[in-house]
Amino acid sequence: MNTLKIAAFALNAALYVAAGILFYSVLPLSFGPVRFWPQAVIPAIFAVVFGPWVGGLGAALGIFVNDIMLNGNPLLSLMAGVTANFAGFWLIGYIANKKTRWLTSVKGYGISTVLFALLLGIAYFYTDLAYVGIVAASYAMFLALVFFARKWRSYEVGSVIGLLVGSSIIGLMVPVYFQYFAPSATSITLASGLAYLIWTFATEISFLIVLGPPIIEAIYRAFPNLKMKNKSGDQ
């Protein structure tokens, strides 16, 4: 990592920590230990502009500091928050800077929509989740992919995939922590894992796909030398 990327990594982590503490102090919403987290857009932007390692490592450090200051639970943070943030935002940065064939994106989204609908059906069977609202949010992602077709399709696809991976890690590791490492153990259930996964994904995806592109575009216009070139794939 060169000097610019090291500075970007530090700024990414610092902004993530500051925004997390500020937002949670104003609107302390959470589902269990998983907080409402619209500031996830911050490391996504850094991952696109400065690369996946800046986004992933900055998010991992930032969420760890946030978790220590807000929850005081370093083990849970290392198991769920740090791993999910690193993997998710690394993927966003990696995919966003690849050219994505439109037909491939549509096919991929179609397959993921079917799988996500099946997942929601299982979740609705086991949990008391707002099924209709979450499905509507899922299809809003598709509309975003259509409207941002050529210019932002790689970022939108990366956001969906990266956040699904990160949310899946949280959905797995949070129940594991509460069964094996929490002071009062609770059994792992399919319902709890799905609930954490869907809460994380459904409450963050709209901020990534709606706020990310205009902010990134503004950064590129202000600092055109930061614009990263797509180097693989075809339009």
Q: What total of structural domains would you count in the chain?
A: 1
Q: Residue 235: inside a domain, yes or no?
A: no
**What confidence score (pLDDT) does residue 123 get?**
58
Q: Residue 233: inside a domain, yes or no?
A: no
**What confidence score (pLDDT) does residue 233 get?**
39
**What confidence score (pLDDT) does residue 231 get?**
42
Q: Residue 189: inside a domain, yes or no?
A: yes
Q: Residue 232: inside a domain, yes or no?
A: no
Q: Residue 231: inside a domain, yes or no?
A: no
**Residue 161, C-beta contacts closer than 8 angstroms, at least 6 positions apart:** 91, 92, 95, 112
**What confidence score (pLDDT) does residue 167 get?**
92
Look up the domain containing 118 and give its range. Answer: 3-226
Q: Residue 21: inside a domain, yes or no?
A: yes
Q: The domain that contains 199 carries what CATH number?
A: 1.10.1760.20
Report whether 71 contacts 152 (CB < 8 A). Answer: no
**What confidence score (pLDDT) does residue 232 get?**
40
Helix (H) or strand (E) holding 222: helix 190-222
Q: Distance between CA 82 and CA 58 in Å, rounded?
A: 10
Q: Residue 105: inside a domain, yes or no?
A: yes
Q: What is the mean pLDDT of each run of 10 residues along the chain (235 residues)?
A: 89 96 91 91 96 96 95 92 97 85 60 64 57 58 59 82 92 92 76 83 84 92 74 38
| Alpha helices for 1-101 (secondary structure H) | 3-26, 41-50, 52-70, 74-76, 83-96
Q: Residue 140: inside a domain, yes or no?
A: yes
- Long-range CB contacts (< 8 A, 24+ apart) of 82-86? 83/169, 83/173, 84/165, 84/166, 84/167, 84/169, 84/170, 84/173, 84/200, 85/43, 85/56, 85/59, 85/60, 85/166, 86/56, 86/57, 86/59, 86/60
SS3 232: coil
**Closest residue by Cα to residue 193 from 126, 107, 133:** 126
SS3 30: strand
Report whether 210 contacts 144 (CB < 8 A). Answer: yes
